[in-house]
Amino acid sequence: MAEGNLTGVAARLPGLSGAEVARRTAAGQVNDVPVRSSRSVTEIVRANVLTRFNAIIGGLFLVILVVGPVQDGLFGFVIVANTAIGIFQELRAKHTLDSLAVIGEARPEVRRNGETVEISTSGIVLGDLVELGPGDKVVVDGEVAEADGLEVDESLLTGEADPVLKHPGDPVMSGSFVVAGGGAFTATKVGRDAYATQLAEEASRFTLVDSELRGGISRILKYITWAMVPTTVGLVISQFTVESRDAREAVRRTVGGIVPMVPEGLVLLTSVAFAIGVVRLGRRQCLVQELPAIEGLARVDVVCLDKTGTLTEGGMDVTELRPLDGGSGTDGAHGTGREDHGSGGNDVSHRDGGNSGGHGDGGSSAAAGYAARALAALGGSDPRPNASLRAIVDAYPPAGAADWRGRGVLPFSSARKYSGAAFTEPDGTDSAWLLGAPDVLLPAGHPALGEVDRLNDQGLRVLLLTRATRPLDDPEVARDVAPVALVVLEQRLRPEAGDTLRYFAEQGVHVKVISGDNAVSVGAVAGKLGLPGAQAPVDARRLPAERDAMAEALDEGTVFGRVTPQQKRDMVAALQSRGHNVAMTGDGVNDVLALKDADIGVSMGSGSEATRAVAQIVLLDNSFATLPSVVAEGRRVIGNITRVATLFLTKTVYSVLLAVLVVCWQVPYPFLPRHLTLLATLTIGVPAFFLALAPNKERARPNFVRRVMRYSTPAGIICGVASFVAYLVARHHYTGSGALDAETSAATLTLFLLELWVLAVIARPYTWWRILLVLAMVLCFAVVLAVPWLQDFFALRLVGDEVPWAAVGIAAAGAVLLEVSWAWVRHREQAEG
């Protein structure tokens, strides 16, 4: 691609007429493929109902309905309730996401009847003339009809990072985006024929995959399935052998052994926790385009911020125009004595000492007026000015240079760091102008750069206005320029940025500011916000290209300026190579590649279509202060699901162990399904629902499966062995009719007390509501033991004093072992860091 692309103004095409649009819409030639931000209602219902474990539990429920009694089938009603809750919560999240997606969706501009109108993506018809500008995403396939320095980045399609210069007749593919210039293209493929269909759905679909949390749970469920098959076979044979004279009792005891092996509520509560997180963030105008992003941002330990639009607001103000030596240009016609044509705009005053050119008052005024006219002409030459040029347009309206005739435009590019335009001035003189970064346009050591550095030290942004000595289409157009004036702009700091940076520092998350602006200026802005390390900004042009060396420099530095789009991508990769989880925030086209490669991409709602398409999280209210809420929500989900998973898997471990012990001892299974349904409801189901949704600020840690199994395995073994010992003690003590109920009641008491202890440990650190939750479960179990009809319903009857107190003693010994094992596991985790 040539460094400079001189473009003129082409004849404006009118686009389709209203009648043509109506005909093509009626013919179905419309881009009618909806981009969904969530699963359909049918998919949600299917995903919650048609699960492997629902099939197992449902089959066992039907068996119990045949052999009776109904109270042994309570687990089936629990599954129905859990499934209904899961469907309701995900539908609620879907409604929130879909409504937010409408706010954040791309609204392309098309030309119809010679006028530009904004429509939804689904409103584009075949043959529509779609206008493009910097940051716009190409939403359907087409052919370029107009090109004004149009440069398109196709890296998301081809992997090629260099922008491609497009001319009329060239194809454009959906999924690419504009990095410079503008133009229009004719839609040649819409609807299901367009490549956009697959890309848009992949970019914007609400997903439940690629999550360490959900992936870990899937692995656990796979292990459980493997363990269930041989255990179930042995249990069935054992129970029908032991209870050979009572087949119905054998069936009930077998089902009682199989049902608790299934952690039926674990997947439900994970989905509910994520769904409620989506709803909570939706209330803060935060669109989560991919569900795992909530979890992912909580695991992030490095956040890369683009200064503009993140630390600063999008708008800027011109505070000063400083003429420079050389402002007279290279020929005599433009000396400092030239007649002042007037500024054509606002009178921007100079600070003391601002006139580094050393002109007298008259010369300085004439030079400033001439520079202002050039700026007004430059502002009028760009139909889609960026934030810097918008500020210049506000200060120097294009009407002030209406008599300057445009001859060509060089669009702004993040890679070049400057833009340009060529004009024929009122006196017939042809001139070419560049506006951009002083340290890019001027050679090192130029006297004006000292003044630029002093302004940058104050956190001000400085652009250089120069007259080019070469044609705009010359690849070396930025060489040998004649500096005319410095344009000083003041950036508006986001009021909430300082608090947000402090939050990340407190949470141990490292912040890296990477910007295309001057490093000193970026450092001054970051310093005003109190960012540690901002006093030592780094010019990215001096960074090593080798990944390990770059990663080392990134670990040491905090603020980096003059970063190119490709360098942003390389920086993200370098940080990831050091094991960091990286989040990238941005709003401009120069951020797209880095956003795509980062572990989590965060875009501002006002950002370009391209950034919103590749980001997992879109802050619709453009508030950087929303990020801590996303981090907190992710930590809540991860921390709480870890607690809840420990409860569920403890039950699975002791259930498998009890089945093995029963097979080895050849005794009836200690529990009926109703007993384990009661215990699971009081010590797992109800408490887990509250714990999964509670506030939680614990730091997210990796290795979810290993950490959960470290806690649940010893806890499950202790619970299983203790309850089986209580059962054997009761079998030895009780004889005669009704002995089996008494034996089961003693084992149930032991198991309840130990599961309650596991719950009490999981609920730490205690708060008033957690203490109340544990006490409420104790009270519910006491009511069951105290009320006669509940005793009969659940077949629970504590007989005598010796065995019940022995059961309590066995539970107390188990509780001591639980505390010891918990302390040992915590010590190991701390030792591993």
- For 462, the token pair is 């400085």
Q: Strands (DSSP E) along 520-581, which ranges?
A: 538-539, 559-561
Residue 336 CA to residue 107 CA, distance in Å, equals: 48
Which two three-digit tokens encode residue 309? 């639009």
In angstroms, rounded to a whole number, what is the distance separating the alpha carbons of residues 711 and 783?
30
Q: How many CB atoms lie within 10 A of CB 338?
A: 18
- Find, among 558, 565, 617, 564, the residue nearest to 591 by Cα: 565
3-state SS, one letter per residue, for 565-617:
HHHHHHHHHHHHHCCCCEEEEECCHHHHHHHHHCCEEEEECCCCHHHHHHCCE
Instruction: Tell me if 549 sits within 8 A of 526, measured CB to CB.
Output: no
CA distance 511 to 311: 12
Query: Comparing C-alpha atoms, which of 727, 738, 737, 754 is closest to residue 817?
Result: 754
Does residue 306 carry a catalytic annotation?
yes
Residue 725 has φ and ψ, to the nearest 5°, of -60, -45
DSSP characters over 446-487: -HHHHHHHHHHHTT-EEEEEEE-SS-TTSTTTTTT-EEEEEE
Answer yes or no: are the C-beta atoms of 51 and 262 closer than 8 Å. Answer: no
* CA atoms 688, 692, 694, 699: torsion sign: positive
Residue with tokens 């300085």: 364
Report which of 634, 583, 593, 630 is spatially closest to residue 614, judged by C-alpha positions. Answer: 593
Distance CA 253, CA 274 (A): 36
Helix (H) or strand (E) holding 428: none
Q: Which two tokens stand for residue 262?
A: 């299934």
Phi, psi of 364 (to 5 degrees): -60, -40
Cα 521 to the chain's mean position, in Å? 29
The helices-and-strands tally (H runs, E runs) of the chain is 28, 21
- The answer to whether 467 touches 432, Cβ cutoff 8 Å, is yes
Nearest to 387 by CA among 498, 517, 511: 517
Q: How many CB atoms lie within 10 A of CB 103?
A: 12
Q: How many CA atoms lie within 13 A of 108 on its CB side?
A: 28
Which residue in the list 136, 153, 306, 382 is annotated as catalytic? 306
Contact 240, 247 (CB under 8 A): yes
Cα angle: 208, vertex 212, 217; to 5 degrees: 80
Spell out a b/e string for 778-795, using b for 16 or more CB atoms within 10 Å of the CB, else e: eeebeebbeeeeebebbb
Which tokens is 146 given? 């107009």
Q: How far is Cα 373 from Cα 398, in angstroms, rounded to an integer?
A: 8
Find out whether 134 and 181 touch, Cβ atoms under 8 Å. Answer: yes
**Cβ(377)–Cβ(327) under 8 Å?**
no
CA 32 to chain CA mean position, Å: 27
> Other CB atoms closer than 10 Å to residue 769's CB: what's the count?
11
Instruction: Report the 10 Å Cβ neighbour count for 114.
Output: 10
Q: So which residues are the catalytic ones?
A: 306
